[in-house]
Structure 1
């Protein structure tokens, strides 16, 4: 298999642009994360505005190691940065990667944003990187995230019990979902249909 590289490029949709993360996004991301005080959600990993610089630095360090490709999510119409997401844990030998570290400002939630972001990332994963599976992981108690992942068309693979120790001292059980290459055409059409339904409301 020919080795592929995670290319630092923007992915553009009708509603959003996934733009490569840089330190220049620190202020805009700090504003976005304050919309809804997202860091207060104990069951998900979202940075406090005061920690945004180190959050970005860690993402860029992982990117430099070839482990991840981090994006900010920018609204095409307003130009506003409304969140962040990543391709991560890419195992070329197994043609498998994960989409994660995703969070959106509260005002961008339950809109077309997540649907289009996943359409862009999954298209890049399956059609450019030629993976055979894309994985999603979330806290077992994060029902909003679990429902959103299922709506994408992903299937639950299992639960990693006692998977992580969180900063607040609790233990996280992680639910693992995936979409495989044979499912991608139907999932892609489903995402397009969901986007169309947002536009016709």
Structure 2
């Protein structure tokens, strides 16, 4: 089995991560509706009537070997969001964790920390990555702060990097964690949910 082309199933105390399925469409709509996440202009969360197209795009990228699309469930098994291992580069042993969004009720909870902890461990310890990236909009200050609090370091800013649906251009902030940093980052992340992490 080629692990770089197979979405993983991972479990922790607060979350379970499973391969995304088309049958998850209604649960994804319900999660996105908690906070009307599609209305946040700096994110790419699909509106309810755009969920099928969003899934089409996710699975097309997966079929092309670019991404692994994942569902994030809480401790009760309720789908609360989605994330991806994306921009896969097995030759150079790099990937990005992105396309992440959560229902408003679990934002700033241990869900995000544990999701990132599980995905980072999978990337470094199972796939053998030498670096894992995170990217976000320059103006998404909440996301930038959350990424930095994981222990990632800012690499730089890609100016006019992507055109947004409204025609404007996104400046993309790039962060990363490299292989040699992972042991310290792992200790840091392991301490946060136990301490009642709210980031």
The TM-score, its normalising length taken from structure 1, stands at 0.94
Correspondence for 2:68: 69
| 1:1-20: CA deviation from partner (whole Å, max 9, x where unpaired) | xx753323311111110111
Aligned residue for 1:89, secondary structure, equals: strand
RMSD after superposition = 1.2
- 1:119 Cα deviation (Å)? 0.4
**How many residue pairs were aligned?**
196
Query: Which residue in the other structure is 2:19 paired with?
Result: 20
2:7 and 2:70 in contact (8 A); partners too: no
* CA deviations over 1:68-100 (Å, ceiling 9, x no partner): 1111111122x2110000000111121110000
1:33 aligned partner:
32
Deviations 1:42-81 (A, max 9, x none): 111111011111111211121122211111111122x211
Unaligned runs of 5+ in 2: none
- Find the residue that maps to 1:59 and give its secondary structure: helix
Cα distance between partner residues in 2 of 1:73 and 1:58: 18
Q: Which 4+ stretches in 1 moved above 6 angstroms?
A: none
- Equivalents in 2 of 1:8, 1:37: separation in Å? 27
Correspondent of 2:111 among 110, 113, 125? 113
1:1-201 counterparts in 2 under 5 A? 5-77=4-76, 79-198=77-196
Alignment partner of 1:175: what SS?
strand
Whether the 8 Å contact between 2:4 and 2:90 is mirrored in structure 1 is: no
Paired with 2:7 and 2:173, the residues of 1 have a C-alpha distance of 29
Contact 2:42/2:139 (<8 A) preserved:
yes
